[in-house]
Each structure stands twice: as structure tokens, then as C-alpha cells.
Amino acid sequence: MVPYRSSSHAGFTLIELLVATGIIAVLMTVVIVAVNPFRMFAAAQQTKRSSDVSTLGKSLDTYLVSMKGVVPTQMYPLNTPKPIAKNSGGPEADLCGLLSTHIAGLPIDPNSPGSIVKDCGSTYSTGYSVVANSSGKIGVYSPTGISLVNQSGVNVAVYGQVADEFITPPSTIMAFAAGTFTPALAKRTPPAGPFAAGVMVQGKADGTGTGDSLTATTGTLINGNFYPNFDTNQGSIVLWITPEWNGNDGIRHEILNNNQFYLFKGTNNRLGVSVNDGTWRSYDVDVSGWTAGTTYNVVFRWATGGTLDGTNHFSISINGSHNFGMTILNGFTSTSFFYIGSQSNQTFANALIQGLTIYRRPLYEATTPSGINVGNGDELTQIYNGGTGRDPTLVTGSWDVVFALPTNSTVGALGTTGEAWSHPHASNLLYTNTTNTGGYMMNGTYTSDGWSAQNAGGSPVTVAALATGSKIFSGGYSVASAGTANQGISYTTASLASGANYVLRAIGNSDGTCNPMIKVFRADGTTLVTSLAGTTTSTRTAPTVYIFTWQTPAAETEQIHLLNTATTGTCSWHQVEVLGNLENAPSFETGSGNPWLPTAWENWGVPVGGSSQETTIVHSGASSLKYNGGYAGAINENSGGSLGDFIGYGVFAYGTANTLCQHVSDYYLQNLSGTGIYGNTAGNRAWNTTNNQWELVKSVRNKRNTDWQRYFLDRSNSSVTGYFDDIYAFLLTPITLTLTPASLANSTEASGVRVDGYDSLTQNVNNLTRTVGEISFNYTPRHSAAQAYSFKQNSNGAYVATLYNNTNDRVHLYWSAANILTLSAVMNGTLVTGTWDATGAIAAGTTYTMKLAYVGASTMTLSVNSVVNITLSSIPAGFGTVPTTVYWGSLYDGSAQGDATFAAAP
């Protein structure tokens, strides 16, 4: 039975109260949480962020559609999130202007100051970020840290997959500040002339500003104005020049100067010289007809003590045609250095200069005649060589050279060492110092120069300094005999080592009565070592040149006698030089065996009876080497030297028929390219010896390998009978060049950054894809289409640009021949090439907008000023790896420069 409860009972039991209280507490908690203002505020922020991200993303999507999916450059580099901001102090993506037609204004994150951005010119920061990845996905996200990679949450908007072909902007914006510029001077292949490499010295095409600088020192003074690397008293300068300019350009172009002596093409379009001998004197010839890209042989000659042709002191020869002027020229001084191709870094040669060789003697030409004939024949005609050109040292040897810049005949960057040399004048064993000039005879008093009279028991000889008009060089003595034979002057050397080898070269002439001879005696002054006779017919302009060798019989001093074997007459002596000789038994006085071999020489295939010692047909001393007809083979001797050395060689040959030859393995003729391989013709020096008289065959060589170091005497025809005597070799003095190539600042012109010489300019490219890409730039060439290839480095051509990742993924744009521009692409290992005949279409100094574009499995095109000139059809589907670096004006290895300025396309 249920208990009865009165209806007036109003209370609750304790349990009921506790249950009710708990329910109320729970309900109150739910209500409070539900209306929590902080959570509500955060949710509102998230809602706004989601809306903002969506708004930004949709407007970006609309923009991408309008741009055919092309990602704006503001979002590069790929995979790198950037704040949507302007002037925020770091990497940013300023999208305000781009999206202004697709959105009312850029929304601002709730936690960022400011309101919606409508003024695109002002500084702003939205608080949102944007990113595009290499797969083509575009993302916008809020500052909560959710990235495109982590696409969960409401704070990121990902807008699909943009096609690969639209992941690159229409052109690469040139940003040279982000590129790498490396300046360097160049050696390049000349279009004509005898040398395998020449030197480029360049600046602005208009001659203004600061450009490349190439200088050399004159060296330590020998005496007067005679320096080891320059002699202003008299001389010749030989070179081949290929100008980048036409002769009528009205701009001054410097060739060589030492601030007292200028060789240049002037604003008057004449090639000339200016000399300061106390008064500035000038002489020039018209070269207004010169054309860019053409090579010219130029020889400057001068004489301060006498004249060249009986009237004039200066001559300018161009391509074998001789011009004379300057009826007055006194001695002039030299500074401690000289510039090659510029005037104190200004008024640049802007030309390719090859074979620059400076002599301290005016070379000889027979047509006028003019200069000094030292027995080489018409030197200028041989050097010009009918327009083909010839290395001057193959005509003259090194004896009178004070500076030579043949380079080591390899193309590439010009270095400071191993490029230039001088004959070792200061190493003359008959020279002491500036006040005792010994064999250079420059002191004016023969006893002060270390010479002694040789009276041969008769009356004293009369010795005097040569008169100005009787000199060849700036020194010299006349010796008048006094009625007794074998009178003259002598010089006693310092102690010489036993068995050491030497070569002597002297220049002298007769008055028609004197019968000159040079003798070398042992220390006792009576025991003859060797000798060589001159002629009574020798004159100042055609003197006798004495060159012979010997080996010292003991450690002792030896005496050099300059004698007159007649009883009367006056001999004039201009110079005597004695150098150490690298060749053993050089006069072939000692040897043994059958076949006969000179001491320390080795047999290279000569059979028994093939060679013998000759005592009748000799050049100097008592014997020579004879090759008997009907036998093959050669002999050789280790001539030594180190990698990079320049070395002077010579040997006297006498033949009855056909050809004899010498070659030096690993030592290439200095004008030729190569790395030195035995048997390579670049090491050979052959000559015809059919006149039955001794002929000096000389050369200058450059050591480019270390495998072999041997001097071979050989025959090209084993049936000939031939003779060799007085062989010599000596190291030439290396000259250190000072190079200051134009810096980036000095290579920046109104049309862009200049890449010339051996400069390189590289820039990262990060907006190309495997399948589609486009890059534009402004190109202002130094050379026209017809001339660009003339200034190439080598057979690689003259480059406009290279896009590169690896050898399987690269694009080349270059001049491959005169007027021919080539576009070559390697895509994923497949080569595709096309050309454009640009005859008359590309002019020097004119700016062209170049655009390279490609679509995989379709075409690659080159447009010039919006006209497609090259189309590569059926290119592969894409690169294996996207090119990431552009080389402006060069090949991808930094070579093959094309001489142009580069800038961003508008």
C-alpha cells in the first residue's frame, strides 16, 4: 500500500535537492561555455581568415585565368612562402596591383593593423602569405602556420594544378645585381695572321670611361735609354691588328704607349705616332679605309741616331707598304712601364692584337732600302709573307727582341705569367752594370766598359766611341789599326766552368779595308778556342753578324778578341753578347763512334755510316756534324727547360740538296697552338739548304709538355747530305704582365652590362619548367653579324647566351660563322639545331630584344624584335632537368665570349 502524502507538503528531500543542484550546475556550465566571448571572438577570427583566404585565393585564381595560368614573378622563388605585403622589410609578394581588377581590396588578417588595402602605392602588410610550388599548385594561407604542404584546416586555400607550361612568366627580368660578373682579359683566335692566339684589350666602343688595362715594365736599366724590355734609341714594333671598328669611326684607339711614345689610330682616322724628344713630334698615315674584322700587319720603325732611308727617322708599314716621315727625331726617354692597348686605361685599342714584338733595331726592308740588314734578307717582306704573315722570330731569331707578347698560343684567359718574354740582354756575360756596359759598349770610353787594347806588338790602336751616324745601337766603338795585323780590343770574362757551353753573337762592320775577325782564347791569351771571320764588304747598314758556339776546356777566364787581321783599316763594333748555352758540345768539336755522335748526344735511328765528324765544311771551330746521304735517322740531345718556358733556338745548316730540319719535342713554335707531342709538326722547323752555304735557322719555342725535352737534328729526305754546326739554346727572360680588366662598374653602359674579353656574367634562372618556358633580354652586340665570328675565341664560336643545367639539358645561342646565328638545344639528351642567316640584320651598337620560347613536344623559337627567326621543330617533350643558370655572352664553361652588352627587356 502506498503511503498517503498530504498535498500541502512543499519540501524536497535532501537527495532531491542534491540532484536538482547538480542538474542546475551542469546547465549553467553549458550556458556559460556557449556564450564565452573569447571563444566566440576566436571563432569569428577564424571565420574571417577563412573568408579572407578564400577571397584572396579566388581573386588570384581569376588573375591566373586572365594570364593563362602564368604565375607572377612576385611569387618566386617557387616553394618559398612570401607575405602578401609591400615594404615590409623582407621577401614579400606585392600582389595589390596585380589583383586590383579582380578584388575590391586586399583583406587584412584580424590580428594585423589596418583595414582593407586599396592604395597599392602605400606600404601594407596583409598578414597573409602566398606560395606556388614546382608542381604548379598555388596556395594562400593565414598566419597560423598551415602551409601548402599541410593543406588541412580552414586557413589555406589551394587552387588546383596549374599546367606546367604556365609556371613560368613571359620573360626573365634581368637582375644583374643578383648575377655574378667576373672580369678577365682574353686570348682569342685571330681571323688571319700567323699566330694561333691574340690579345683583346677593350673598353666602351665609344672610347670613353675606364676599360681593360694591360701593362708591362721596361725592366731594370742597362744604360741610357736601353732597358731589357724597351729601348727608345732605335727599334721596331711588329704586330697584327684586327680592329673592332672601321678606320673612319672618328674615335682614338691606343695601340701602345709609355707616356713619351704613343702609337694610336687618331680621331683624324690616321694611324700615327707621337714622340716627346723635348718637342712633341708626330707622323701618321691614312687608315680611314680599314674595316672592322679585317686583320692588318703593321710595323713601326724608328732611329734617333741616324735615319732609316737617308732622310726620315720614322716609318709606318701597313701590309707590306712602307711610308716614311719625321725628318727630325732626337733621343727620347722611357717611363718604367708601358701600356698595351690603352692610354692609362682610356682610349682603348678595342682590337685583337697578335704577335706584338718589339726590337731594339730597325728591321730591314730592301725596296727602299731602309733599316739595318743583319743578314736575314728583307725582314719586313718575310714577316708580311704575302699577307699570310710569319712569326717575326722565325725571320730574326730573338737576339734583338726587347719584348714579345706571342702568348703561349692557347686561347682563353690572358694570364700574368708565361705569356710574354724578352731576350736575356741583362744576362750577357760581357755586361757588368750601367757604368761598365761591357759588350754593349755604351759608356763612351772603351776602358771604362772593361775592354783592353790589343796592339799585337805594334803601335797602339786608336779606339773611339762611334759617331752618332755610324751607330746601329746606342753604343759601339771604332778601332783603327796602326800597321800591324791582329790588332783590336779584348774583354776578359769572369771565370767560366769547365765543360760549360756558350754562344756568342756580335755585330760589326768594316771600312772596306779592315778585315774583321772574332777569336776566343783561353786564359793565357794565346791558346785559341774558336774563331769566326767577317768580311771587308760589311757596312753599317749591312754589317756582319757573328754567331758561334764553344765549350770551355777548363774552369778559367777566357778572352774575347775583336780583331783586324789586316794591317790597316778601321773596324766598327756595335755589340758583343755571350750567353750560356743549353746544348752540349754545340760546335761538334768532340764526339765518337760510328755513327759519329757529338759528346752527350744520343742516336735516334742513325745506322752505321750514317753520320760522321766533318773537318772541311765547318761554320766555326775545327769541325761540324755531317749526315751522309743514303741513311735515315736523327740524333738528339736533352735541352732541358721547364713547363711554360720560352726558349731561343738556332743551328747553322749547310745542304747540297733538298731539305734538312730540326725539331724540339714538347717545345712548340711559339706562334702555333698545341700541347707538345713528339713528332708533331708544330715542333718542327724545316728549311731548304740547296745553296751550299751556311744558313742560320732560328726559332723561338714554348714548352707545353714534360714528356720529352729533346732537340732533334734530322732530314726530311734521307738521301741528302747535310751538315750542322754551332747549335744553341737558351731560356728567354719571362715578363710578368699587369692585368686590370674592367670591373662591373666600368663594364656597365647605357645599354647594359658589357661582357667582352674573357668576362663572364651568370645569373640564376628559377622560372623555367621542363616543358614550357620563355626568356627575354636586350642584346647590343659590339660586332655586326658579318664580323662577330671574326672575334671568336675558337671553333666554338662567339656566344650570345647559354641556358644550362647539365650537358643533357642546355640551350646555346651563338654565331657559328659569318652572318650565321645558331640556336642549339639539348633536351633530355636529344640535340636539335637551327640557324638564321642574319646578313644585314644585326648591326654593331644596335639594341635588339631577343626572346627564346619553347613548348615541349612542339617547337623552340628565337624572336628578334618580335619576329621569329629560328624555329626548332619537333623538340622533345621536355628537359630532363630544367636549366637553372644563364651565361650571358659566353658558353657554359665561361668561354667563347661574344662581345655585347645585356640588359632586361622592357
Look up cell 659590339; give the residue.
782
pLDDT score of 159: 42
Backbone dihedral region for residue 136 (phi beyond 0: left; psi -120 to 50: alpha; all else: beta): left
Q: How many CB atoms lie within 10 A of CB 267?
A: 13
Once rounded to an integer, what is the mean pLDDT over residues 195-205?
Answer: 96
Q: Enumerate the H helices of 505-555 as residue ranges.
A: none
pLDDT tens figures, 509-540: 999 999 999 999 999 999 999 999 999 999 99
Question: Using omega within 30 degrees of 0 as the cis cutoff, is the peptide bond preceding 110 cis?
Answer: no
Q: How many CB atoms lie within 10 A of CB 747?
A: 26
Once rounded to an integer, what is the mean pLDDT over residues 265-282?
Answer: 96
- pTM here? 0.83
- High-pLDDT (> 90) share of the chain, %: 68
How far is Cα 851 from Cα 846, in angstroms, rounded to an integer? Answer: 16
How far is Cα 258 from Cα 217, in angstroms, rounded to an integer? Answer: 10
**Cα dihedral 52, 96, 777, 867 sign:** positive
135 pLDDT more than 70: no
Please, what's the b/e burial string for 61-88 (b: 16 or more CB within 10 A of its CB; e: otherwise)?
bebbeeeebbbbbbbbebeebbbbbbee
pLDDT band at 675 (very low <50, low <70, confident <90, very high): low
- High-pLDDT (> 70) share of the chain, %: 87
Once rounded to an integer, what is the mean pLDDT over residues 117-132?
Answer: 86
**Residue 627 is inside which H or E element, if any?**
strand 624-627
pLDDT band at 23 (very low <50, low <70, confident <90, very high): low
pLDDT score of 1: 35
Distances (CA, A) of 97 to 86, 313, 661: 11, 73, 78
Distances (CA, A) of 565 to 107, 495, 532, 568: 110, 27, 12, 9
pLDDT tens figures, 352-378: 999 999 999 999 999 999 999 999 999
How far is Cα 329 from Cα 735, in angstroms, rounded to an integer? Answer: 29
Look up cell 727599334; give the residue.
235
676 pLDDT more than 70: no
pLDDT band at 165 (very low <50, low <70, confident <90, very high): very low
Cell of 355: 704577335
**Cα dihedral 613, 614, 618, 623 sign:** positive
- Binning the chain into helix, strand and coil, the percentages to the nearest 5 are 10, 40, 50
pLDDT tens figures, 82-112: 888 998 777 888 889 878 888 889 999 887 7
Q: 3-state class of 588 per DSSP?
A: coil
Of 156 and 389, the one with more pLDDT: 389
**Least confidently predicted of 11-15, 130-134, 279-283, 866-870:** 11-15
Residues 6+ apart with CB under 8 A from 530: 519, 520, 548, 549, 550, 587, 620, 621
Distances (CA, A) of 171 to 35, 76, 867: 55, 13, 16
Residues 6+ apart with CB under 8 A from 141: 53, 81, 128, 129, 130, 131, 147, 148, 155, 156, 157
pLDDT tens figures, 775-808: 889 999 999 999 999 999 999 999 999 999 999 9
The torsion defined by the Cα of 350, 351, 356 and 361, in degrees rounded to 10, comes to -80
Given a contact cutoff of 8 angstroms between Cβ atoms, the answer to whether 240 and 194 are in contact is yes
Given a contact cutoff of 8 angstroms between Cβ atoms, the answer to whether 298 and 271 are in contact is yes
pLDDT tens figures, 49-85: 777 877 887 788 777 767 666 677 787 776 677 888 9
2 pLDDT more than 60: no
Residues 6+ apart with CB under 8 A from 855: 165, 771, 772
pLDDT score of 41: 58
Give one DSSP letter per residue of 128-141, joined into a string: EEEEE-TTSEEEEE
Comparing CA positions, the residue from 159, 169, 131, 161 lying closest to residue 55 is 159
Of 712 and 146, the one with more pLDDT: 712
**Residue 864 is inside which H or E element, if any?**
strand 859-864
**Least confidently predicted of 127-136, 332-341, 817-826:** 127-136
pLDDT band at 718 (very low <50, low <70, confident <90, very high): confident
How far is Cα 590 from Cα 582, in angstroms, rounded to an integer? Answer: 16
CA angle 343, 349, 354 (to 5 degrees): 120
Look up cell 734578307; give the residue.
377
pLDDT tens figures, 604-621: 889 999 999 999 999 999
Q: What is the mean pLDDT of the chain?
A: 88
R_g (Cα) of the chain, nearest Å: 41
Once rounded to an integer, what is the mean pLDDT over residues 263-285?
Answer: 97
Given a contact cutoff of 8 angstroms between Cβ atoms, the answer to whether 92 and 84 are in contact is yes
How far is Cα 638 from Cα 551, in angstroms, rounded to an integer? Answer: 16
345 pLDDT more than 90: no
**Least confidently predicted of 558-567, 710-719, 764-773, 852-861:** 710-719
Q: How many CB atoms lie within 10 A of CB 232?
A: 23
How far is Cα 116 from Cα 112, in angstroms, rounded to an integer? Answer: 11
Comparing CA positions, the residue from 73, 99, 72, 96 lying closest to residue 84 is 96
Cell of 459: 803601335
- Terminal CA-CA length for the chain: 105
Once rounded to an integer, what is the mean pLDDT over residues 664-671?
Answer: 83
Please, what's the b/e burial string for 622-636 (b: 16 or more CB within 10 A of its CB; e: otherwise)?
ebbbbbbbebebbbb
pLDDT score of 657: 64
Comparing CA positions, the residue from 52, 93, 92 lying closest to residue 71 is 93
123 pLDDT more than 60: yes
pLDDT band at 389 (very low <50, low <70, confident <90, very high): very high
Cell of 364: 730591314
Cell of 385: 709573307
Beta strands (DSSP E) in 656-740 are 659-664, 667-669, 684-688, 695-703, 710-715, 722-731, 733-735, 738-740
